[in-house]
Amino acid sequence: GQQVMQIPQYQHVQEGEDFTTYCNSSTTLSNIQWYKQRPGGHPVFLIQLVKSGEVKKQKRLTFQFGEAKKNSSLHITATQTTDVGTYFCAGSNSGYALNFGKGTSLLVTP
């Protein structure tokens, strides 16, 4: 079945450094979503990408969807301590459920 792989599993950065997490699917996706889960909290939707090569920005966050619609990335510029949490990608291939990656846990030290 469809699998979504996410790397790295953990990332520790100094405040102000950039951060990137990558997501790869074994099959072509119809769309990909990104979620953020703060420590002790629940996942919260960030964004959805649908088009091949799509790039979307939310302040310091940049999301990309690959040309082949099999990979995606989330880049955070100049991390802040409020960025701490686990970032999940979740892909769908027009089915009825999302397949979540295992997530990247980001730790930001001041």
Partner 1 sequence: DGGITQSPKYLFRKEGQNVTLSCEQNLNHDAMYWYRQDPGQGLRLIYYSQIVNDFQKGDIAEGYSVSREKKESFPLTVTSAQKNPTAFYLCASSNRGQGEYEQFFGPGTRLTVL
Contact residues toward partner 1 (CB under 8 A) are 1, 6, 9, 30-31, 33, 35, 41-45, 48, 50, 88, 90-103
36 vs 79, which CB is nearer to partner 1?
36
How far is Cα 50 from Cα 59, in angstroms, rounded to an integer?
20
Nearer to partner 1, 15 or 87 (CB): 87
* In the complex, least distance from residue 8 CB atom to partner 1, rounded to whole angstroms: 12
Minimal distance, residue 95 CB to partner 1, in Å: 6
Give the Cα separation of 70 and 31 in Å (integer): 9
Q: Which is nearer to partner 1, 48 or 73 (CB)?
A: 48
CA distances from 80 to 19, 67, 77, 101 (A): 10, 30, 9, 24
CB atoms under 10 Å from CB of 76, counted, come to 22
